[in-house]
């Protein structure tokens, strides 16, 4: 059964601000270059209309947790600037959605989806929010997410938060959007914004991008500042772009990247980051590339494996040399130590973030959050508990021997004995694997289902990872991943772009109630 789809969503675009002729404004599947023809106010009005019709009613996706009450005012200011001075760049006047764990010093809250932080307004912009404003983007609103970036319960349901409810997958409304950047991915997939920013600790950009049929980039740790982002773990957290095309993701990455005095890790990126990543996009970018097929990430879903085989053939046809298999020597060895590190760092990092909020927030520590959830169990824990938070709160300081040993093990296995080892052995440009399986049925009783995925090594290593649409399984999207060594974003973008140009698998969602095997 199919929901009626709104086939044409448009308004009359004002010509005065953009300098272009008067015409119908249709934002569906539009690229940043195409949207750049229109004025910011016209774009904001159209996206707000789509959000009202698709996100809040109609399919009721619940991707957006809060809208910026000043979006129209900001758009008008940017249109006046465009008339007098011209555009700042490709993001001038473009509406962007931020995940609701990214601080904005405006009239919107930053809550990580939790009722415990409702009404908490940041004193200053996160680095990524400031960079977007400098680029001329309109921060249209905040995206729903898996509450606390999916680090509350080991039996959580992705895409659910106490504040925002359950985000739904636009390809099949009974399917899960994956997490934790659920709302960011759905907003982009459903054309509720031009591009969005998500965050990842392990899989939270790649998985939702894959199952919602979009491009997602998890950058090298330190390429994008973590300052002003509600944390899980400083050794793995990063923000990154989510877009409908590799080109638009590359444009957004250029705006986000850069050194920041508030985040010492970004100092390492000096001389290794770029303000324009589109310079690396080449249609023939696969020619002569050596790609390692990480076979141990296959085998979770037969239909996805068939898609991947087709994708591998496309890579070869475009001139890539496949080394198959090219598995990581440390495959599957970091699970326990990764969780140990995340538990220690979550307590330390979240306490530091909440402690700095001062009187602006009702909670000031992880212990406060745990207590709030207990006191508000009906609203905050109707479907799953907070065992991860409780385990984290029991951990000691960051000079504890178990933490330091786990951190050393992670870095060694993921880097020197993992990605670096296999790439050096086979002289690879990148590794390729299925990003994961298709979206599973949302299940508030059993929680998330294991659909496979290859996010662990790059996440633990702090290395870059890109997913690109690779086809459909029974109407549900699945992506192919390209990942490699530190600061290899230019190479990965070149490969991903070349694959995208020859395959063109991206299709907009149809908002089906459900899908059946076929």
Residues with catalytic function = 99, 180, 204
Residue 169 contacts by C-beta under 8 Å, 6 or more apart in sequence? 175, 176, 177, 186, 211, 212, 439, 442, 476
Nearest to 293 by CA among 500, 480, 466: 480
Give the C-alpha separation, 476 to 490, whole Å: 29
Nearby residues of 260 by Cβ (< 8 Å), 6 or more positions away:
127, 225, 227, 266
Cβ-Cβ contacts under 8 Å for 274 (sequence gap 6 or more): 254, 257, 280, 490
Euclidean distance between CA atoms 499 and 363, whole angstroms: 47
Burial class (CB in 10 A: 0-12, 13-18, 19+), 447: middle
CB within 8 Å of 77: residues ≥ 6 apart? none
- Token pair of 194 as six digits: 């031009």
Q: Which residues pair with 468 in a beta bridge?
A: 480
Residue-by-residue DSSP string for 163-221 = TTEE---TTBTTB---SSSHHHHHHHHTTSSSEEEEEESSSTTHHHHHHTT-EEEEPPB
Question: CA 509, 294, 336: angle at the middle one, nearest 5?
Answer: 90
Token output for 261: 């005095």
Q: Which of 208, 201, 134 is nearest to 171 (CA)?
A: 208
Angle (deg, nearest 10), helices 246-256 and 127-134: 110
């Amino acid at each position: 059964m199919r929901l009626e789809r709104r086939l044409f969503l448009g308004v009359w675009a004002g010509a005065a601000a953009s300098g272009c002729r008067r015409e119908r404004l249709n934002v569906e599947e539009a690229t940043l270059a195409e949207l750049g023809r229109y004025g910011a106010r016209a774009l904001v009005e159209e996206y707000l209309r789509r959000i009202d019709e698709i996100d809040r009613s109609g399919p009721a996706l619940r991707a957006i947790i809060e809208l910026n009450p000043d979006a129209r005012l900001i758009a008008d200011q940017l249109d006046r600037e465009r008339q007098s001075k011209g555009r700042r760049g490709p993001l001038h006047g473009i509406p962007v959605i931020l995940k609701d764990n990214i601080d904005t010093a405006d009239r919107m809250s930053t809550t990580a989806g939790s009722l415990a932080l409702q009404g908490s307004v940041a004193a200053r912009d996160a680095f990524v929010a400031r960079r977007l404003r400098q680029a001329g983007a309109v921060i249209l609103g905040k995206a729903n997410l898996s509450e606390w970036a999916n680090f509350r319960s080991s039996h959580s349901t992705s895409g659910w938060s106490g504040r925002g409810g359950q985000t739904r997958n636009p390809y099949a409304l009974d399917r899960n959007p994956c997490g934790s950047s659920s709302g960011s991915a759905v907003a982009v997939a459903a054309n509720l914004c031009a591009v969005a920013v998500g965050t990842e600790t392990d899989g939270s950009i790649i998985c939702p991008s894959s199952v919602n049929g979009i491009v997602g980039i998890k950058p090298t740790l330190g390429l994008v500042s973590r300052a002003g982002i509600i944390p899980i773990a400083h050794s793995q957290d990063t923000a990154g772009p989510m877009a409908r095309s590799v080109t638009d993701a590359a444009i957004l990455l250029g705006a986000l990247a850069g050194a920041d005095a508030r985040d010492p890790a970004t100092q390492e990126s000096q001389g290794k980051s770029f303000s324009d990543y589109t310079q690396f996009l080449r249609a023939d970018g696969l020619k002569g590339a050596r790609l390692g097929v990480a076979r141990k990430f296959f085998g979770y879903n037969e239909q996805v494996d068939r898609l991947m085989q087709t994708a591998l053939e496309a890579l070869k046809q475009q001139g890539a040399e496949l080394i198959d298999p090219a598995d990581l020597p440390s495959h599957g060895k970091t699970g326990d130590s990764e969780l140990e590190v995340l538990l220690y760092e979550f307590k330390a990092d979240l306490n530091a973030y909440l402690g700095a909020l001062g009187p602006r927030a009702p909670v000031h520590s992880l212990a406060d959050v745990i207590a709030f959830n207990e006191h508000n169990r009906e609203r905050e824990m109707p479907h799953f508990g907070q065992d991860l938070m409780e385990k984290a709160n029991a951990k000691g300081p960051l000079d504890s021997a178990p933490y330091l040993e786990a951190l050393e093990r992670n870095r060694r296995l993921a880097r020197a004995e993992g990605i670096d080892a296999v790439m050096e052995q086979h002289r690879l440009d990148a590794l390729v694997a299925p990003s994961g399986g298709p979206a599973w049925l949302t299940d508030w009783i059993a929680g998330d289902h294991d659909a496979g995925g290859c996010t662990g090594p790059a996440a633990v290593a702090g290395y870059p990872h890109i997913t690109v649409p690779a086809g459909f399984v029974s109407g549900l999207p699945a992506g192919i991943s390209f990942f490699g060594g530190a600061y290899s974003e230019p190479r990965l973008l070149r490969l991903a772009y070349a694959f995208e140009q020859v395959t063109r698998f991206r299709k907009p969602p149809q908002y089906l109630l459900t899908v059946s095997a076929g």
